[in-house]
A and B are shown apart, each in its own frame.
Chain A
Amino acid sequence: MKTKLSQLAPGESGIIKEFTDLEMSVKLMEMGCLPGEAIQVERIAPLGDPIAVNISGYQLSLRKKEASTIILQ
């Protein structure tokens, strides 16, 4: 089972369950990444990092390192 956002391939999606890092979680939550929200990986930058995700109707980019703090259901 895939659990972290950083492990998803483009096109795959999941539901956010929780965060592993408080500092990152406050920054991500204010951008709309909340527990219970659906999140989809849209693409990966040409060099493999960062990634672009779709969250509550808009596109957000974040590094894999930040994505790995997001645990999916």
Chain B
Amino acid sequence: MKANLKVALVGNPNTGKSTLFNSLTGLNQKIGNFPGVTVDKKTGQTKLNAAQEAMVIDLPGAYSLYPKSKDEGIVLDVLVDPNNPAHPDLVVFIADATNLKRNLLLYTQVADLKIPVIIALNMMDLAKRSGIQVKVDELAAKLGIRIVPISARSGAGIDDLKQAIADANAIPLQTDVLDVNELAPAGMVERVQAQFKLANPYTALQYLHHYQQLSFLEARQTESLAQEVQQSDFNSQQLQARETIARYQFINEVLFDTVSSPDNPIQESYSNRIDHVLTHKIWGFAIFMAVLFIIFQSIYAWSEYPMSLIESLFIWLVNAVHDYLPAGALTNLLADGILAGLSGVLVFIPQIAILFAFIAVLEDTGYMARVTFMMDRIMRKVGLNGKSVVPIIGGLACAVPSIMSARNIENWKDRIITIMVTPLVSCSARLPIYTLLIALVVPDERMFGLFNLQGLALMGMYLLSMLSAVLVAWVMKYLIKARERGYFIMELPVYRMPRWNNVALTVYEKVKAFVLEAGKVIIAISVILWVLASYGPPAKFKAIDQQFASPAYTAKYSAEQITQLKASAKLENSFAGILGKSIEPVIKPLGFDWKIGIALITSFAAREVFVGTMATLYSVEGDASRMDSVKEKMAEARNPETGELVFTLPVAFSLMIFYAYAMQCMSTLAVVYRETKSWKWPITQFVYMTAMAYLASLLVYQFLK
């Protein structure tokens, strides 16, 4: 076949397309045991044999060519638009051997598009275990194509599949399934074929059904299709129903003597038994709460030791830099700016890794789908959908991919509200801020000798964020108009053991991305901030030098004290100080001083910067001979005028609430724009969240003060 063959992986959701993709390409697409994990196309290269390579395209799952949601729409677009860069020369159809009947519906549709196709019959391990027997050769003969049995998860059969791809014919050989002309009023399909020069009638029929959503059609073409549809009394839904019934008739005939399954599959009952407990009337929610509780307690309990290790490593490093490099501005920048900023975030790697690991396990076992099932009733009440649970729980890690995963939600209004509230869920970038502030003001004690108080406070922040998301959703339910009927029809996958190496790999990749992304921003901001905090208007700085050199000071204070006082005065009059001071009046009612003000401003680039900003500010001011961690510096910080501690309980909580609600993430706003294709939503989100942050902080501070 062609030099660089384009191979698309098509199939129902949750059938193992991404697992196969990863095994073919060596890439690391996200995998999870619930429908709708992949929501965008992704390409990679694979070596078929010594001589041939192929480009592989992983696609979202779809139940049919009639898209109900945005991710399903991507599959349709790729398959019916010959000019799409991802339009394949060969479709590898991934079918779940334990659920062939439903899987073959989409297969027959793809086959009728007359793109060359082969079937990868996946989950053979499961099929065997539950006693399902597939006569592969007979089935292949009936469909007129190659079928390769595989187990993507274990890698069995992948080499055969590669060979089959390399050997595949360039022309479609599959048997016809339906007479397409019977699926539309007489003559219509031919007219569209002629007008758009389409060789294949089923593609023409797809144009008639989907002209409103096929992104590649020009306005003029859409117009003429619309006319055609109106004139000829083309009832899309009725015709789709007729087509589906006809296709299942064909499938039943094909499967009748090629597939046999025992009356009571073993796998099924095993999954069922787990469900009796996990979705139990009372235990169901109790277990879900317990799972969340364990997650947050573990984040504290398991991370203590590695965190203090990283902390001491950095203190040692900063000291080493000061000891071995010549004293001067550059050394200060490296030690007090960059290293201090980095340590502020790197120290949280253990906590973030634990959080990611738990989420990966929840997604990999199939439990996420059960949470969706249990929560739908509540979610619907507040204007969301059971499926919103996936973005909301994913939001604990990061809002950006979670907002994309909302593509799987069919209903427009449910989806928009989900997108709008997902950033309220406390993401991993807020974790360092919470941990740091909680450590400052909440005693490290155990309640009833069991629950760590700091862990409880952290869980409280997370619960608050989720509750707020639900409340805001409920308000938006009344503000946003619905476009269509909402519904909830979702496949519940069987439980699977998590693959620990996949969990480990996911955690590693996520942490790496977090460190690299956050690291870049932190280094950039630290450098800028350090410059802004070290320099100020020359006239002011000169005046300060003169002031502290005057006898009034030299007589009263020791040289050491003067250096300290001078550093404070300079910071206050530096460019950064001027910036912080200028917003101080606005944030004073929230309990924040100008230094916190600077952190708030820098955090609008990304929240991760908070800890680094604090580190940089306190290092510039601090006494270079004493190296403490950020936490210790903040714990000792005092208001120079009143002499009181800066980070008191009301200030710390007010600050945490501010960070919980404020929209301080450019990447999120960018992805909301991309997903909604309108500035209206990101702007609304920015305004409502920031306003909410201000008001809530004000309330908390004034109330606790």
Contact = CB atoms under 8 A, between A and B. Distances in A.
B240 A26 contact: yes
Contacts of A52: 275, 279, 373, 492
Contacts of B63: 30-31
Interface residues of B, number: 44
A6 to B, nearest CB: 13
Given A22-B237, A23-B237, A45 B374 contact: yes
Nearest to A47: B377
B232 interface: no
Given A34-B248, A46-B374, A27 B491 contact: no
B280 interface: yes
A23 B490 CA distance: 16
Contact of B279 (A22, A27, A46): A46
Interface string B596-623: 0000000000000000000000000000
Given A29-B244, A47-B377, A61 B487 contact: no
Contacts of B102: 31-32, 56, 58
Nearest to A34: B248
Contact of A50 (B101, B240, B285, B373): B373
Contact of B245 (A29, A49, A58): A29
Contact of B285 (A26, A27, A43, A46): A46
B489 A66 contact: yes
Q: Which of A48, A54, A63 has the most CB of B within 10 A?
A: A63
Contact of B377 (A23, A45, A57, A58): A45
A32 B98 CA distance: 14
B110 interface: no
A59 interface: yes
Contact of A45 (B66, B272, B279, B487): B279
A30 B101 contact: no
Contacts of B373: 45, 50, 52, 61
Contact of B275 (A43, A56, A60): A43
A27 B487 contact: yes
A32 B66 CA distance: 14
A24 B281 CA distance: 28
B485 A23 contact: yes
A54 B241 CA distance: 21
Contacts of A46: 279-282, 284-285, 374
Contacts of A35: 245
A32 B247 CA distance: 11
Contacts of B561: none
B678 interface: no
A3 interface: no
A66 B285 CA distance: 24
A52 B241 CA distance: 23
Contacts of A24: 487
Given A46-B285, A58-B491, A30 B272 contact: no
Interface of B: 63-64, 66, 68, 98-99, 101-102, 105, 237-238, 240-241, 244-245, 248, 261, 265, 268, 271-272, 275-276, 279-282, 284-285, 373-374, 376-378, 380, 386, 485, 487-492, 494
10 contacts: A26-B237, A26-B244, A32-B105, A45-B374, A45-B376, A45-B377, A49-B376, A50-B488, A57-B98, A57-B101
Given A29-B248, A32-B248, 13 more contacts: A27-B487, A29-B241, A30-B105, A31-B489, A35-B245, A50-B373, A50-B488, A52-B279, A56-B102, A57-B99, A57-B101, A59-B494, A61-B491
Interface of A: 22-32, 34-35, 42-43, 45-50, 52, 54, 56-63, 65-66
9 smallest beta-carbon distances between A and B, as pairs: A47-B377, A59-B492, A32-B102, A46-B284, A30-B64, A29-B244, A62-B489, A58-B99, A46-B281
